[in-house]
Every structure is written in C-alpha cells, then in structure tokens.
Structure 1
Amino acid sequence: MQNNEIKILIIDDSPVWRDSLNSIFEGQNYQLRMAEDGHKALQEYREFKPNILILDLNLPCCDGKDIIRSIRNQVGDNDLYIISLTSVADVETKTQALNLGSNDFLVKTFDHEELKARINVAKRQIRLNKQLRAAFERIAQEFDTVASLQNKLIPKSCYYTQDLAIQSAYYPSGRASGDYYDFFSVQNNILRVVIADVSGHGARAAFLMGIVRALARTTEVHYLDLAQTFDLINTQLIDILGQEMDFVTMFAADIDQTNNVITYINAGHCPGLIVSRNNHTDLLEPTSTILGFFDLEFQPVTLDISESCGLFLFTDGYYEWMVSPTQRFGLTNFLNLASELLCTPHFSMETLEAQMVQGLDGRPSFPDDRSALWIHWKNNGP
C-alpha cells in the first residue's frame, strides 16, 4: 500500500504541534488534513474518511476521548487506526483511551522517528485489514455460489397434480445450508419423498448435503427400495467421513396411492406426522439411528393410509430456537402447533411460520436451517 493511498487526519488545537506534525510527514506523499478542535475533527472525519487519525486528547469543544467513543461506538468504524496524543504521561488517561478504542498512545515528548515507526505499524494494520476484507468478500462470493447451486437442487416450492399437492418451505440460516428435501416418482408411479439434515452449518454441511441428494436421486433412475437406498447413503457417508463427527438424519417415504399404503424409514430424524381424515395425527418416530457412524440394518415400516390425508415432514430448525434467553420453543410445542394447523382446511407453511412467532416481541433469531414438506393426497380410499 503506497503512501499516496494513505489518508492521515491530524487533530490538535496547538498551531505549533500541527506545524510540527505536518513537518514530520512533509515530502512523504501522504494525503494529509488537519483540524484544531473536536467539532471540526468529526466534520473532517466524515468528509475525508481517513485511514489514520492522530488525535490530541485535550481538545476544546469536544474531548478527544469523546471523539474516539463517537467513531467506535456511534459510527461503528473499527478500521480507523487511532494514535492518541497527550502532554502528560498519565497512566489512567492512557488506559481510558486504549479501552475506548485507541490503537496507540504517545506522550508529546516523542521523537519524530518514533512517530514514523508507529505510522508504519498503522500502515501494516491497514494493509492487513484490506487483505482480510478482500478475503472475506471472496469467501462471501463463494458462499453465494454455493447457495445459488443449492437452491437449484431444491424442488420448486409447490407441486400439484389431480390427486396430490405438495407444499414446501426452505429457510437456510446462512448462505449455505445442511438441509435437504426432495420428491420424485419411482417405479409404478410411487412418490418418494425425502428430507434430511446434515449436522453443522456452512460449506461443509452443504457439501455433504449435495452428496446425500445425489445418492437419493440415483434411485429415481436406478430403482432401489428404501432399505437399499438408506444402506447406500449410510455406507457412502461412513466411507467419506471416516472418524469425523459429522452425521446425517434422514426420513424417506414411498407413498403408494394406488394401494393406499406408505412405507417409510426414519434414520434419527424428527418424527413425521401422518394426518387422518378425522383430524387426528400420528407420529412416525425414528426406526433407526443417525447415518454416517455405524453399519446399520434398515427395516421399513408400512402403514395403511386409506383413512389418512397427508404427511408432514420437517427439520429440527423449526423447534431449536429460543423463545426467550432461557427457553427453547421445543419439539412438543411445535408438534402441538403443527398438529392443530394441519387439521385445518387451508393449511399453509406461511400460517405455520406466523403462528410460531405470534405474541413474541420482534422476530426471533433462528440459528438453524428450517425445511418442511406437506404432502396432501386428495382422492385415496373409498
């Protein structure tokens, strides 16, 4: 970073010190401005946008410590490198200035070469901050790319046929998500629905999600029954993850409307909800443990759905959030709310979201990804 790219703002009420400081930087090609009091200091700061501020703490109109406080706390500028100056070697003043956000501190008996050395330290810090910002921007762009690709892997939000309607919700907590859901036809027009949750967040979880999705989707073209599908995914995850602590929970079901049956496996995932025509819900609890750790044998469960009208699936982000600093929303509350709403004639994901946060002060923070599927079959049964 060249000197002519560095902006230095000097704030001092003494003309003698302003001239002295100016002479130190003379001929070094810095962009230099000066102000003699606190009010002009803040005005120059806003207009000039300096990289380095050399600040006398004892100013008329506005105390130097107030200027630091304003820049750090009110403006929120943590990049500006602040060198505080004072005429007295007072430990308390120095401690206050540093605690408020000053990067460096000099007593006004300093040698010119010492100040030049401190400026060089500031330049290295400015250069490092610039490099870090550029790196973060590149990382953010990469995450945006991952998020864009993930969105393309997730089916469209609504799906309708004459006999079936599917609603979905997908709310990633960050740019990249570890959630995955899908639905597609397998042999004999059976609808296969899948929902999975990869442990953790970010690019690693998104990468594993992509693997799970690819393996699940292979069964659309090369048919495997549910037990074979889960065995394939589990075996591959064990091979990929080895001794790592990542894992996947997954629920998959084959819905056969012709024969009015549903066959499912739940590998450590949240319970599914089967909704009956008489406004009753049943939980489809886990049938095995999580994927990615152990060799497992998967036993599908088959249920008669002739008296049922739908299946609701979700990830744990829907209940692992804080209603208050000491209270989670919780699985029981979510199941009660979802069961109540699913039995209403015009259920929607938007209504579910609204009811979850009703009565709270402001929008809560959801630290985990949230995904859900509502598969509503219309014309099965007699």
Structure 2
Amino acid sequence: MSDQSAASVILLLDDVHPGRAAIAERLAREGYRLLCSAEVPDPLPQTELILCHTRSLNCPDHWQQLVNHAPVIVLTEKRDQEQALIALSAGVSDYLQDPEGSLDLLASLVRRTIEHARLERERASYQHKLEQTNVELQASLKTLQQDQEAGRLVQRQLMPVHPWTLNDLCFDYWSQPMLYLSGDFVDYWSPYPDVVWFYLADVAGHGASSAFVTILLKHLLNRYSLDKEITPACMLGRVNQELITAGLDKHLTIVLCRLNPLTRTLTYSVGAHLPAPIMVVNGQAKSLIGAGMPVGLFPEAHHEDYTCAFPEHAQLCLASDGVLEMIPGDGLDVRQATWLDWVARCEGRIDQLADRLQSAARKWPDDVTLMMLNGC
C-alpha cells in the first residue's frame, strides 16, 4: 500500500451486489477510501476516480456527466458489451470485464488510472503556468521594446547634426548599432571660435546600459570643454574618475580630439581605442600614434596628449572596433592594414566606407561607427 493510494477517494457505483462488496474489500486493502452508491449521487462527491458498473447505470447521458467529473473505469459483464461501447464513446478512461473475477487486475488498473490522472493534472497545471508566464513575458517584451525604441529616439536626438560644417572643416558620421541602442557615440562641437572638440567613444557591452553611459559622457565632455585651458588627456582623467565614482561597472575606449581651426593644430588623447585614428594627406594614409588605458576601469589610469598638424585638404577618420570584425583577413594586423587601405581610397567620403562595410557584412556582430573630418 502506498501513501499515494491511501489519499485517494474512489466512488464505486454499483447495485447492492456481492460483487460490489468484493471489489470494495479488495480496494480497501490497497488503502483506497471507497464511497459506494447504487445510483449517481447529486451532487457528485470530490473523488479521484469513479468505478461504474453498467448494471447500475440505465441512462446513457450519465456517462458524460461522470466523465466530466473524474476519470471513469467501466465495469461490465459480457452481456453488457453495448453499454460498455456507449461509455467508451463518452470518453471513459478504461473498462474491465468480469471485475469480480479479476480483482488483482482491477487493483492494478485503478492504480495506473489514478496515477495517469494525477500526471495529467500536473501537466495541465504546468501548461497553465507556462501560458501565464508566456503572457507575462510577451507583455514584458513589449514594454522592453517600447523602452528600447524610446531610448533609441533619445540617443539619436543627442547625436550631432551631420554633416556639420564649420568654416573650412566638415564633420560627418555613420553608425550601425547591433541592437536598438548603441554603445558607440560620436560628437563634435565648438565652445569657442578657436576650439573644436570631437570624439568617438565605444562603451563596453551593448544595449541600454551602454547607451546611457554615452549620454553621461556627452554631458561630461560638453561641460568640461567650457574650460579653455583643459586638454584631452585631462578631460579623460576627469571622466575616468566620474565613471569609477558612479559605480556603473562600465568602461569605454575613446579617441578625444581638440582642434584649433585657426592654427590647424590637432591635440588628441587615446583611451585604449582601436583602430587608431587615420589621417590622409595627399592620398597617403597613416595611423596616428597614441596609447592609453581604458576610461572608467582603473582609478590610476594615465592618458597622454599627442599633437600634430592637420593640413588643409586632409582627412581624419575615426572608427569603432566593430569595423575590424567586418573586415576579412586573419589577424589584427592584417585587418588594420586593410582598413588603412580602405580609408586611403575613400577620398574622404564616409558613404563609400559605409557601403564597403555593408557589402562585407552578413550580420553585424558589434556596433559599428565611423566619423570623418574633411579639411576643405
């Protein structure tokens, strides 16, 4: 006798008959609790199984009532085959001929039917919970998508106008996010007539959290740039401390540049960014030197300022590291050399670089962003 069977209640519908007593006694020994009746009770009691002998049921409509209430096993004699077929068509679980002579078989059938019914209830319960969870998940996904769409709109609104011309300088950018929101960001602005600031940053990770850091970065750099004496390296140091103090667990790579449009002097600082900035002068491309630590990762990060001339009619190209994943070739050096060649051949047209990347892309494994400065 199992604990499971001990908790089971069985309704036995049969005429007062020696066979009924034998069935009840046998099942009681198995630990079941028997409710015996010669007719269908109204209302039906709560029970895990109904055993119904065809000799006690004269109305065929009662079969459907019983089946809708609990699993039903039909007990029948050989002469009641027609009634058994009616019960089976109503959806009973099983039937047994001559139950009085097959008590052990009946006990096994009862045990199996009750176990099957319990498993079916569990399955139905799990399915219901799964459907409810799916409904909740769909609602959450819809809310998330709406949030992402709103975030993308905000991020796009914060991106600079492009193309943007200042005197004889022309700035432009192109961006392809992997998700709704991008961890890449560009900006260019002129707080004073003799200063133009611009940068390309790549925040680690993807999605909303990285995008929010780009918004914070824009705010910080625009505020710091009001200091006429500040240098790119000093500015990166301040951003580094802000991110670490905020505890956002986010860091970024960046190329931050300060250009004097009157003297054509370019000062820049690099925060662990690849690929290196590329300057093209008279069709000849070269990578600018520069190294530095990521921003927002190490409290004692050090950054340096580098200075060079930005000649007339030159181009300067900045790119996020996503471009290196799009370029064919084995090894970082090969891809960087290919990228240098592509920039040299594009004649300062950012659309040509974008078209080349798009033609090479089967999918976008990372955010990809380009910035181009043309000295007209």
TM-score (norm 1): 0.63
Pair member with larger Rg: 2
**Aligned counterparts of 1:276 and 1:304: Cα–Cα separation in 2:** 11
Q: Give SS of 2:239's match.
A: helix
- Residues 328-382 of structure 1 show CA distances to partners (whole Å, capped at 9, x for unaligned) of 685643553454444454x433321332354x6xx4111211111100011xxxx
- How far 1:26 sits from its partner (Å)? 5.6
Unaligned runs of 5+ in 1: 1-18, 28-84, 86-106
Unaligned runs of 5+ in 2: 1-60, 70-92, 94-111
CA distance change for structure 1 residues 294 and 256 in 2, over 3 Å: closer, same or farther?
same
**Aligned counterparts of 1:143 and 1:328: Cα–Cα separation in 2:** 35
**Aligned counterparts of 2:62 and 2:179: Cα–Cα separation in 1:** 51
The answer to whether the 8 A contact 2:164-2:172 is kept is: yes
The answer to whether the 8 A contact 2:327-2:338 is kept is: no
Q: Give SS of 1:351's match.
A: helix
The answer to whether the 8 A contact 2:290-2:306 is kept is: no
2:238 corresponds to which of 211, 232, 240: 232
1:34 is matched with which residue?
A: none
**Aligned counterparts of 2:62 and 2:266: Cα–Cα separation in 1:** 85
2:367 is matched with which residue?
A: 369
CA distance change for structure 1 residues 338 and 163 in 2, over 3 Å: closer, same or farther?
same
**Aligned counterparts of 1:152 and 1:146: Cα–Cα separation in 2:** 10
Q: Give SS of 1:319's match.
A: helix
Q: Matched residues, percent identical?
A: 18
Q: Give SS of 1:254's match.
A: strand
- How far 1:254 sits from its partner (Å)? 1.3
Q: Give SS of 1:174's match.
A: coil
Pairwise CA RMSD:
3.3
The amino acid across from 1:233 in the alignment is: V
1:163 aligned onto 2:168: yes
The answer to whether the 8 A contact 1:319-1:329 is kept is: no
- Residues 303-333 of structure 1 show CA distances to partners (whole Å, capped at 9, x for unaligned) of 122366121101001112485xxx6685643
- How far 1:174 sits from its partner (Å)? 0.4
- How far 1:267 sits from its partner (Å)? 1.2
1:265 is matched with which residue?
A: 269
1:241 is matched with which residue?
A: 247
The answer to whether the 8 A contact 2:346-2:353 is kept is: no
2:137 is matched with which residue?
A: 132
**Aligned counterparts of 2:63 and 2:121: Cα–Cα separation in 1:** 10
CA distance change for structure 1 residues 355 and 22 in 2, over 3 Å: closer, same or farther?
farther
**Aligned counterparts of 1:202 and 1:176: Cα–Cα separation in 2:** 5
Q: Give SS of 2:200's match.
A: strand
Q: Give SS of 1:200's match.
A: coil
- How far 1:214 sits from its partner (Å)? 1.1
**Aligned counterparts of 1:375 and 1:23: Cα–Cα separation in 2:** 81
The answer to whether the 8 A contact 1:275-1:309 is kept is: yes
